[in-house]
Structure 1
Amino acid sequence: MNSIYKYKLNILLGILCLILSQKASSKALNTEQPPNVIFIFADDLGYGDLGTYGHPYMKTPNIDRLASEGTKFTRFYATGVTCSPSRTGFLTSKHPASFQKYMAFHGFSGRTTITELLHNNGYYVGHIGKWHISGNENPPIGTYGMDYIKIMGNAEDDDIGRDDDIFTEAEKFLEKRSKSDQPFYLNVWGHISHYAVDPSDQFPKEFEDVKLDASRFDKYYQKKLKKSIELNQDIDQSFRNYLGDVYSLDLAVGRLLKKLDELGLADNTIVVFSSDQGPAPVRMKPKKDPKLVANMLGWAGGLRGGKHEQFEGGVRIPFIIRYPNHVPEGKVNTTSVLSGLDWLPSLCAITKTPYSVNKFEGKDVSKVWFGEESNPERYLYWKTNSPNGSVSVLKNNWKLHYIKKEQKYVLYDLEKDKGETKDISLQHPEITKELIDKAKQWNSTLPTSYIKGEGKKNKRKSK
């Protein structure tokens, strides 16, 4: 009897252990920690301004490392051609031209933001650095759902990179959040490479042997170099100053990545690096220093245009994402056409944050981030916050612009002509008409007047 009793007892204990282990496993799966998110946003950094995106002189080993440990996209688009509109598109998943009141002065007019949604889903949300998304430069805690806000300008210390203070503050943020189990989202928005590019001497010295060979660049950039020479004859030094400025940003990114490693946060943190739009032009304005304007040598990587323009150089931006064991390492996605509008719905999908799909313009492209090569079925549009601004529209590789000076539409095939040099609208009348119709239809849904900073309305002129 004792042996039979022991036998039955062992069977019961075995079954009990199996049940308990299954429950523990199920509980572990259900309590998997949501990922943290860090969004590093450069300012006016060109599509070609990073080593990993092909710059022949730039040194960006830390950002390049981020790309090698994650995925780099070559067809990622900003939603605007200046700072505030682009940031608006990322945070609200709404096209900036749909806002009647200009966002830099009036905010988002009650529109829902990704930061608000994540906060409501249990995230601790922080913002450090440049703001430019409301007229209040001292926004209270709770603005856009943010739990921590520290707006910062360029570093005042001449011996450090001008974004160093922002990244130092971000490191402090990580140290505090590492002591909590609460997931976090953090904007780290810098000022490089916005005017004025005036780096500490130590950073251009990293490039003291560089002698600029203009033949290594495209015709658009060569024109930019000529304008720089008109303002400052020492083109090599102007060029080194720009290289040094971006290099200082890369070093700051490196310190942030190192801090993630030290705190054991790297494996469960999504890190994204991008820029708000293309590089600023070399354009002299009153009260600006000619030598500093000459330093504005951002490169669009062979694309036409830059900041303020809806050509590819103004709206195509670098986009790098790292999320260990989820995003493929060392992958370069050259086929998927993505937008800053997709930031909100994609993060909501990954973090299991509830949101109303039909309320936003972007698409959930999280599967593309995770390695799938596909394109959302849609059109992408651009227009400045002006009633008389021209509309540009993109469908896959077809790009349509309306050229006001010539009063005509032009069409480009970006697969064969990424520099937008050859108008093929006459050769492709059907796709031209389709895109013109789409542009007019979309434009008809936008405000007919816009309110800038002083509350004055700009009205659409009658045609």
Structure 2
Amino acid sequence: MKPALTSLLLAAAIMAASANSRAQSTSRPPNIVFFLVDDLGWRDLACYGSSFYETPSIDRLARDGVRFTQAYAACHVCSPTRASIMTGKYPARLHLTDWLSGRRDFPFQKLGNARIHQHLPLEERTLAETLKQHGYATGHFGKWHLGEDPAGPLQQGFDVQVPRWNKGWPRAGYHAPFKLDGLRDADGDYLTDRLTDEALKFVEQNRDRPFFLYLSHFAVHDPIQGRPDLVGKYRRKLATMERGKGPAFILEGNPDDPEPLTRQDLAALMTRPSHRGFKALPRRTVKIKQHQDNIEFAAMIEAMDESLGRVAATLDALGLAENTIVIFFSDNGGMSGANLGNPKRIVPDRKLDVAFATSNLPLRGAKGWLYEGGIRVPMIVKWPGRGKAGTVCDEPVISTDFFPAILEMAGLPASR
């Protein structure tokens, strides 16, 4: 890997204050907080244009750091992107190009799916392993989804893993009991809050040495379950909004089918019977959510925002904020469409809340598609003392940039 600065650093103008590639001289290397969100769309934050979701802590991070408008996940689903973050390699090079355990083959397919690794290969050197080698304490909190033991976080460079659950979704949802090994819960606990509690313990325990905190929330992956107090808040907010100014959903041609949707197709669709407001769609049609108005999903986003706020407050209280790099990212685009790989173009009731959780407009597509809505994600970097606060960067960057960039920001050799 070349030691030159990656596009992430160049594009952000983080280095504007100095030609030196090292952080400002301190008595120790910078701490690194990587705050990763699951299935968060490009427009799912107030600082990216949402008027329904409230994200004051993330907005504050954007004001204090660099907000990227063209940041991309290396894949349209989670596991490959996470592998790219950990290794700095594209998913195809890792033979890990789908979520784990990966899509099964369906009878209607003309070709079978490519066979992929079912874990991040142990011979790959991860970001955590590299930082640990240079004296960093390393903690993983939340979603891993890069393979079961013996290929979990503890075998890939992390000192601490909470919970001991390596799959890609919360085992029993976001409300206690979580049924997750290594994570205690009590009545009324909410998973996003409890993961934050454990992450903050790690920060406090390692306040006197450099640390790498990888806070990888399950949120906002399904099931769509908000914290009750915040659900109530957004229910009240939704009740005050003007309704009926446009359709809740729009239709576009199926991205998997190049044949355009005709006027006759649209006319035929309008005569189809509805089931609870959702229509069985013709083969070449995809239903796209137009409005952001899901109160449970909004509550999940704000709870995640509160988590970031608590991390920032703890760094301030411990006097660590000025020597801590904070990176905010999502593993793929948001959930806003009804295709979901279903050949009948209809979503069962149990998945309606997932498929239509948010809106990615004006981007086309959603999680699971290689259109912008599936791979373009929010990204914010705060590196105290470098660059101008509140910078907006339009340079394209991708999740493979993180590995070399973080090492360079920490003043560590990038070759391996």
TM-score in terms of structure 1 length: 0.62
Q: Which amino acid aligns with 2:379?
A: F
8 Å contact kept, 1:117–1:355: no
Deviations 1:173-213 (A, max 9, x none): 111111x2x21111100111111101132112112131465
Task: Give the 3 Å change call, closer, same or farther, for CA 202–352 of structure 1 in structure 2.
Answer: same
Q: 2:79 aligns with which of 74, 84, 87?
A: 84
1:186 aligns with 2:213: yes
1:332 aligns with 2:344: no
Aligned equivalents of 1:215 and 1:222: distance in 2? 20
Q: After the TM superposition, which of the residue ranges 257-266 and 200-209 deviates more from structure 2? A: 200-209
Match of 1:366 in 2: none
Q: Which amino acid aligns with 2:135?
A: G
Give how far 1:310 is off: 0.7
Match of 2:144 in 1: 131
Task: Give the 3 Å change call, closer, same or farther, for CA 82–126 of structure 1 in structure 2.
Answer: same
Q: 2:157 aligns with which of 118, 131, 145?
A: 145
Q: Report which of the two has the higher share of helix.
A: 1
1:429-444 correspondence to structure 2 within 5 Å = none
Give how far 1:108 is off: 2.8
Q: Which amino acid aligns with 2:63?
A: S
Task: Give the 3 Å change call, closer, same or farther, for CA 138–293 of structure 1 in structure 2.
Answer: farther
Match of 2:367 in 1: 307
Aligned equivalents of 2:31 and 2:215: distance in 1? 13
Task: Give the 3 Å change call, closer, same or farther, for CA 319–148 of structure 1 in structure 2.
Answer: same
8 Å contact kept, 1:84–1:133: yes
Aligned equivalents of 1:313 and 1:140: distance in 2? 29
1:242 aligns with 2:305: no
Aligned equivalents of 1:291 and 1:214: distance in 2? 26
8 Å contact kept, 2:325–2:383: yes
Task: Give the 3 Å change call, closer, same or farther, for CA 228–250 of structure 1 in structure 2.
Answer: farther
- What secondary structure does 1:347 align onto? helix
- What secondary structure does 2:145 align onto? coil
Task: Give the 3 Å change call, closer, same or farther, for CA 352–197 of structure 1 in structure 2.
Answer: same
1:46-125 correspondence to structure 2 within 5 Å = 46-100=41-95, 104=100, 105-125=118-138
8 Å contact kept, 2:367–2:373: yes
Aligned equivalents of 1:43 and 1:86: distance in 2? 11
- What secondary structure does 2:237 align onto? coil
Q: Which amino acid aligns with 2:210?
A: P
Match of 1:352 in 2: 411
Aligned equivalents of 1:320 and 1:332: distance in 2? 9
Give how far 1:165 is off: 1.2
Aligned equivalents of 2:251 and 2:296: distance in 1? 16
Match of 2:401 in 1: 342
8 Å contact kept, 1:47–1:53: yes
- What secondary structure does 1:38 align onto? strand
Give how far 1:218 is off: 10
Aligned equivalents of 1:213 and 1:41: distance in 2? 33
Aligned equivalents of 1:30 and 1:323: distance in 2? 13
Match of 1:413 in 2: none
- What secondary structure does 1:74 align onto? strand
Aligned equivalents of 1:343 and 1:205: distance in 2? 38
Match of 1:202 in 2: 229
Give how far 1:87 is off: 0.4
Aligned equivalents of 2:225 and 2:60: distance in 1? 26
Q: 1:267 aligns with which of 312, 322, 326?
A: 322
5+ residue gaps, structure 2 = 1-23, 101-117, 177-186, 254-273, 280-289
Q: 1:172 aligns with which of 201, 210, 223?
A: 201
Give how far 1:51 is off: 0.4
8 Å contact kept, 2:122–2:156: no
Give how far 1:306 is off: 1.0
Q: 2:307 aligns with which of 246, 252, 265?
A: 252
Task: Give the 3 Å change call, closer, same or farther, for CA 120–61 of structure 1 in structure 2.
Answer: same
Task: Give the 3 Å change call, closer, same or farther, for CA 228–346 of structure 1 in structure 2.
Answer: farther
Q: Which amino acid aligns with 1:121?
A: H
Deviations 1:311-342 (A, max 9, x none): 111111100111221142111112x1111110
Q: Percent of pairs identical after alignment?
A: 30
Task: Give the 3 Å change call, closer, same or farther, for CA 213–222 of structure 1 in structure 2.
Answer: farther
- What secondary structure does 2:141 align onto? strand
Give how far 1:354 is off: 1.9
Give how far 1:229 is off: 4.2
TM-score in terms of structure 2 length: 0.69
Structure number, greater radius of gyration: 1
1:207-226 correspondence to structure 2 within 5 Å = 207=234, 208-210=236-238, 211=241, 213=243
Match of 1:44 in 2: 39
- What secondary structure does 2:214 align onto? strand
Task: Give the 3 Å change call, closer, same or farther, for CA 212–84 of structure 1 in structure 2.
Answer: farther
Aligned equivalents of 1:227 and 1:42: distance in 2? 33
Give how far 1:65 is off: 0.8
Q: Which amino acid aligns with 1:272?
A: I
Task: Give the 3 Å change call, closer, same or farther, for CA 101–256 of structure 1 in structure 2.
Answer: closer
Q: Which amino acid aligns with 2:335?
A: A
Q: After the TM superposition, which of the residue ranges 149-158 and 113-122 deviates more from structure 2? A: 149-158
CA RMSD of aligned residues (A): 3.3
Task: Give the 3 Å change call, closer, same or farther, for CA 220–136 of structure 1 in structure 2.
Answer: farther
1:273-288 correspondence to structure 2 within 5 Å = 273-283=328-338
Q: Which amino acid aligns with 2:129?
A: E
Q: Which amino acid aligns with 2:159?
A: D
Aligned equivalents of 2:374 and 2:222: distance in 1? 16
5+ residue gaps, structure 1 = 1-28, 360-463
Give how far 1:300 is off: 2.1
Aligned equivalents of 1:65 and 1:47: distance in 2? 17
